[in-house]
Amino acid sequence: MTLPTPVFLAGGAFCLLAGYLSGAVVAPHHQRGQTATVVSFDSGTAKLCLGGDAVKDEPGVKDAMLCGTWSHSPGSVTPQKGDTFRFVTMDTSGVKGSRPRDTTVIYGTVVED
């Protein structure tokens, strides 16, 4: 049995709408990212440390700073100490080889005024 084309298209549209709505309801509420202040950045290792109220509840915060590996798109402005930085994080902790490791990846960019 085959479905008529309009019924098939309406079913597909309904599935897309349901997926979008469930993603909007279930997804984290800070989808646009949070903003923090750059405490330090090492361009050799891409280690970025952020501070401020936005980082205090993030996993992996030590001494009121969130540090991790900066991931960015090509051509992004290099962060400098004191810059305002919009970010989201991903905890990629796990086991590499036989050693556990704590790793945070910070995706984001400098907020230009």
Q: Label residue 86 by pLDDT band (50, 70, 90).
A: very high
Indicate whether 76 and 106 sit together in one domain. yes
Write the pLDDT tens digit of every residue in 20-75.
555 555 555 444 568 999 999 999 999 999 999 988 888 888 889 999 999 888 88
Indicate whether 51 and 71 sit together in one domain. yes
Local structure of 7: helix, strand or coil: helix
Judge whether residue 112 has pLDDT over 60: yes
Count structural domains, the chain. Answer: 2
Q: Give the structural domain span for 74.
A: 34-110
In the chain, DSSP finds a helix count (H) and a strand count (E) of 1, 7
